[in-house]
């Protein structure tokens, strides 16, 4: 009986340690994925400078805010990303809940879908980036045309 309890305890301890190491690995990979996303997008679009990026809650999709008002989207497919530069007028964004956005791309339907973010702030920020990508050239117009005071 003592041997059975000892073996069961050792198996349980092994499972607990395995789960702890798995969580640490996932956290390390999440940090590496952000760097990998930047490198992959830079390779796909070398002339675009990234200002900010937000990942979805599951870490499979990265939305990028670019230097000139445009936006980008990257979906993870295994160990690589498909990079998508969002052209003005090619995206539809609908709210699908407090932390979720339903995004449809006219020129890449397979890239769209419903994306869940870590919090409402991230979802709102990404929706502003995507809606701002409708007319990225408006920032170069005079302030009155852009709806801003002089």
- Separation CA 35–CA 57 (nearest Å): 17
122 pLDDT more than 70: yes
| pLDDT computed for residue 23 by the predictor | 63
What kind and span of H or E run contains 76? strand 71-77
DSSP bridge pairs for 75: 61, 82
Of 37, 18, 41, 39, give the one whose Cα is nearest residue 29.
Answer: 37
Query: Across residues 105-127, what is the average pLDDT?
Result: 85
Domain ranges of the chain: 2-140
If one counts every other C-beta atom within 10 angstroms of the C-beta of residue 103, the result is 21
Q: Does domain 2-140 have CATH number 2.60.40?
A: no
Note the helical H segments in the chain: 2-44, 120-132
Q: What integer best gives the mean pLDDT of the chain?
A: 77
What is the arithmetic mean of pLDDT over 5-11? Answer: 86
Q: How far apart are CA 33 and CA 46, in angstroms?
A: 19
Q: Report the share of the chain in percent with pLDDT over 70.
A: 76
Using one digit for the tens of pLDDT, what is the confidence trace for 13-65?
888 877 777 665 554 444 446 677 778 888 899 998 888 889 888 888 889 99
Q: How far is CA 131 from CA 88, 103, 125, 150, in A?
A: 9, 11, 10, 23
Is residue 112 pLDDT above 70, yes or no?
yes
């Amino acid at each position: 009986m003592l041997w059975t309890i000892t073996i069961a305890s050792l198996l349980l301890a092994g499972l607990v340690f395995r789960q702890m190491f798995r969580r640490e690995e996932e956290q390390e990979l999440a940090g590496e994925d952000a760097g990998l996303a930047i490198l992959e997008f830079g390779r796909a679009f070398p002339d675009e400078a990234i200002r900010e990026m937000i990942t979805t809650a599951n870490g499979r999709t990265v939305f990028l805010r670019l230097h000139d008002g445009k936006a980008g989207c990257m979906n993870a497919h295994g160990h690589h990303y498909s990079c998508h530069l969002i052209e003005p007028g090619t995206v539809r964004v609908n709210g699908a809940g407090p932390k979720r956005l339903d995004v449809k791309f006219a020129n890449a339907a397979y890239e769209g879908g419903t994306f869940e973010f870590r919090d409402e702030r991230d979802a709102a920020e990404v929706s502003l980036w995507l809606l701002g990508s409708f007319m990225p050239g408006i920032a170069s117009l005079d302030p009155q045309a852009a709806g801003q005071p002089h």
